[in-house]
Structure 1
Amino acid sequence: MTLKTKLLSAAALTLTVSAAAADPALIYDLGGKFDKSFNEAAFNGATRWAAETGGEFKDIEMTSEAQREQALRRFAEQGFTPIITSGFSFSTPIANVAGDYPDTKFVTIDGWVDPEANPNVLSIGFAEEEGSYLVGMIAGLATESNTVSFVGGMDIPLIRKFACGYAQGVKAVNPEAEVISNMTGTDPTAWADPVKGSELTKAQISNGSDVVFAAAGATGLGVLQTAADEGIYSIGVDSNQNYLQPGSVLTSMLKRVDNAVYDAMTAGEDLETGVITKDLSNRGVGFSLDGYNEQIIPFTTLSEVYGAAAMIESGELEVHDYTSDDSCPALTF
């Protein structure tokens, strides 16, 4: 069957076609479906599901905060299930809507909704600190200046998880290294500002950074481009971004949003709700190694990183989660 994806107009939000039984829907966060990062990972998971099953889904891109609850309600009224959302900002809208549609399954990726108050919601979280620790190790072993850096998107605890895990990984292999950290902003526009990402990267380079990790959605594209232009290494996030700047992207911290979407669509109406966490043990996070970067990461580095990954999975090595106590042992915010 030919793959069909039905894109709704983000401006009109007109859902006029009724869903077939168990048709899923996907709502992207601000930053755009093709951000080459978080949202695009969600899209890739949905299209993989459609290609493999012949199923169909509807999707929509948000252009403003006000559209979140409206889109959720209209999808629910049309009978789509599960309704999958990407981004923590959907937590409150889903909590407001889910009780009105008890027969509809909702999924929040990166968000959290009280499972007792909303038994028809699945909250999917990730151990970002674990994957970030591994790419931090790679950065700490690659730096020649003994200074590396981090560019975050919106300054929220979730993004501080990335930064904190990264700093811990750097310090684990290079205790004398300095880690510079900057956030792009304090509101959702921070996810889609590649110019600001470029400016922050240039400032970090002027302070000695020769490896920069971006966890900033589409803003990170400016980080990766500037790193390539200035001749330093960058580290991508969420999706495998190694191909964007071949030879300059050292690796990418993988956050398997694609698998989360694929699994939810596969489960369909039988989706089990509640709260789950994707981590190293279930391949929810990791780092990328492919033809674009395998020549720039030494075997000795990979051996050390894989060893640490095994220790994290077994519980022998614990990476501190910033959100557990709003603190980071390796980095001051």
Structure 2
Amino acid sequence: MKKVFKLSLAPVLAFSMMLTGCGTNNAANGGANTNAGTATDAPAEATAAPTDAPKSDIKVGMVTDIGGVNDKSFNQSAWEALQALEKEAGIEVKYLQSKSSADYQPNLNQFVKGGFNLTWGIGFDLGDAIKLAATENPDANLAIIDSVVDAPNVQSVTFAENEGSFLVGVVAGLTTKTNKIGFIGGAESPVIKRFEVGFKAGIAAVNPKAELKITYAGAYDKPDVGKSLAATLYNDGADIIFPAAGATGNGVFNEAKSRNKAGGTKVWVIGVDKDQSIEFGDDVTLTSMIKRVDEAVKKVSQEVIDGTFKGGITTLTLKDNGVGLPETSKANVTPEILAKVEEYKQQIIAGTVTVPSE
């Protein structure tokens, strides 16, 4: 079963709380409202989440991929969504942080066996673990971001990353001064490939003279690797880099900030998943390719609260406002370029422009 629901990008970022907490591999200490991490790791907001709604018996658990809950990317977006729902609906929410892929199955099982009404797996890498948990626990409700799991008790949420990446490719192609642009992926997967090929197509559509240099970090939790790869790309003349690599991409921002502070050629980073200008600033963030993971997590979790949850596939596209650019793009992107972005957006929605996905 495939269903599509409408999301709104009117709010640039629905949830602005920045987390610094780290999860543990203990269900009793898994969520921010249960002292996840140490006292110095978890801010007061994370250890005590007051609710505006009557207490509910619904419990929703979330298992991160190895990027972690504070990746400033899709894990963080998902957790912020659950925190907001906790406050609004009075439900109990917890997370478990995966230090390696070996943690996926036991983390999922802690929530499933613990009687949670919904268990989320955040990221493509959790697909096999979600499938096994769903098969072994047919009465449990599970959901996953960025992967399709064929099971009647799993809601799979995917995004048209290629369409949103095409639009930031248009921005990059029309903004670059050196005609050299970089892309840094995390681990190679169909999801990251959609980012790559959409970005490449967007650049080519408006600036066929621009050269795109593509590299992969092989990890989503290595900011030091991201910083090193960014240094190489910038040294080779790139003035814009688009990292689709989770927390690894944070290192790209760090490298760009250092270079801009030192002077010389102005360099930019294109954010991913969230409006990363909020975290890293307009001085280095050209724009961002937003995936509304936050709204998707809230929508599916609300279905559990309402008793309407069903397994199936939810695909969020440009037409559904599931991907796109934030309003803060106006800080650094000229009105002329934004008009060109809007032109391509409408063509993609109308089907007159087809963006490759692989």
Place the TM-score, normalised by the shorter chain, in its bin: 0.7 to 0.9
Describe the SS at the equivalent of 2:330.
coil
Deviation of residue 270 (structure 1)? 2.0
The secondary structure found in structure 1 opposite 2:76 is helix
Separation in 2, partners of 1:147, 1:271: 46
Unaligned stretches of 5+ residues in structure 2: 1-20, 31-54, 260-265
Partner of 1:282: 320
Which shifted more, 90-99 or 136-145?
A: 90-99
1:83-98 superposed matches below 5 A: 83-98=119-134
Select the residue among 138, 144, 161 that pairs with 1:128.
161
Rounded Cα–Cα distance in structure 2 between residues aligned with 1:133 and 1:29: 26
Is contact 1:26–1:84 with CA below 8 Å preserved after alignment? yes
User: Residue 237 of structure 1 aligns to which amino acid in structure 2?
Assistant: V
- Alpha-carbon deviation of 1:264? 1.4
In structure 1, how many angstroms separate the alpha carbons of the residues matched to 2:90 and 2:192? Answer: 36
Q: 1:41 to 1:9 in 2, by over 3 A?
A: closer
Task: Indicate which of 242, 247, 255 corresponds to 1:226.
Answer: 255
Q: Is the 8 A contact 1:15 1:78 kept in 2?
A: no
| Cα separation, 1, equivalents of 2:197 and 2:22 | 37
* Alignment partner, residue 325 of structure 1: none
Matched, 1:59 2:95: yes
Distance in 2 of aligned mates of 1:295 and 1:267: 37
Q: Is the 8 A contact 2:23 2:95 kept in 1?
A: no
Query: Is the CA contact 2:317–2:323 (under 8 Å) kept in the aligned structure 1?
Result: yes
The match for 2:228 among 176, 182, 199 is 199
Which residue pairs with 2:36 in the alignment?
none
TM-superposition CA deviations, 1:274-331 (whole Å, max 9, x none): 11211111111111222xx423211010111011111111212110011xxxxxxxxx
Task: Please tell me whether the aligned partners of residues 173 and 206 of structure 2 are also in contact (alpha carbons under 8 angstroms).
Answer: yes
> Which residue among 270, 274, 287 is the counterpart of 1:235?
270
- 1:194 touches 1:223 (CA, 8 Å); kept in 2? yes
The equivalent of 2:68 in structure 1 is: 32
Task: Choose which of 177, 180, 189 in structure 2 pairs with 1:147.
Answer: 180
The structural deviation recorded for 1:51 is 2.2
**Does residue 214 of structure 1 match 2:243?**
yes
- Contact (CA 8 Å) 1:224, 1:235: kept in 2 or not? no
Distance 1:60 1:8, change over 3 A: farther
Report the 3-state secondary structure (helix = DSSP H, G, I; strand = E; otherwise coil) of the residue aligned with 2:148. Answer: coil
C-alpha contact 1:28 1:59 (8 A) present in aligned 2? yes
* Superposition deviation, residue 14 in structure 1: 5.0
RMSD: 2.1
**Residue from 44, 49, 71 that aligns with 2:107:** 71
1:10 to 24, 38, 51: 24
Task: Say which SS state the counterpart of residue 172 (structure 2) adopts.
Answer: helix
> Which of 288, 307, 310 is residue 272 of structure 1 equivalent to?
310
State the secondary structure of the residue aligned to 1:240.
Answer: coil
State the alpha-carbon separation in 2 of the partners of residues 145 and 214 from structure 1.
18
Q: CA offsets per residue over residues 133-176 of structure 1, 9 Å max, x none?
A: 00000000100111111111112232121111101001111011
In the alignment, residue 83 of structure 2 is paired with which amino acid? T
Provide the rounded CA distance (Å) in 2 between the counterparts of 1:176 and 1:54: 54
Q: CA deviation at 1:55?
A: 2.1
Identity %: 34
CA distance in structure 1 between the aligned counterparts of 2:233 and 2:101, rounded to whole angstroms = 31
Instruction: Give the superposition deviation at 1:15.
Output: 7.9
Q: Deviations over 1:164-191 (max 9, x none)?
A: 1101001111011100111012xxxx11
Counterpart for residue 51 of structure 2: none
CA offsets per residue over residues 253-278 of structure 1, 9 Å max, x none? 10111111111111114212111211
Deviations 1:6-46 (CA, angstroms, capped at 9, x unpaired): x9962344589xx9743211111111101111111111111
Tell whether the 8 Å contact from 2:198 to 2:356 is kept in structure 1 after alignment. yes
* CA–CA separation in structure 2 for the residues paired with 1:32 and 1:317: 36
Question: Contact conserved, 2:25 with 2:107, CA < 8 A, in 1?
Answer: no
1:76–1:210 distance in 2 versus 1, CA, 3 Å = same
1:97-176 paired onto structure 2 within 5 Å? 97-114=133-150, 118-176=151-209
**How many aligned residue pairs are there?**
307
Structure 1 portions without partners, runs of 5+: 1-6, 323-333
Contact 2:22-2:69 at 8 Å conserved across structures:
no
Greater mean alpha carbon deviation, residues 170-179 or residues 224-233: 224-233
> Is the CA contact 1:228–1:245 (under 8 Å) kept in the aligned structure 2?
no
Match of 1:305 among 331, 335, 341: 341
Q: Post-superposition shift, 1:242?
A: 1.0
TM-score by length of 1: 0.87
Q: Distance in 2 between matches of 1:264 and 1:29?
A: 19
CA distance in 2, matches of 1:13, 1:48: 20
In 2, the alpha carbon distance for the partners of 1:77 and 1:195 equals 37
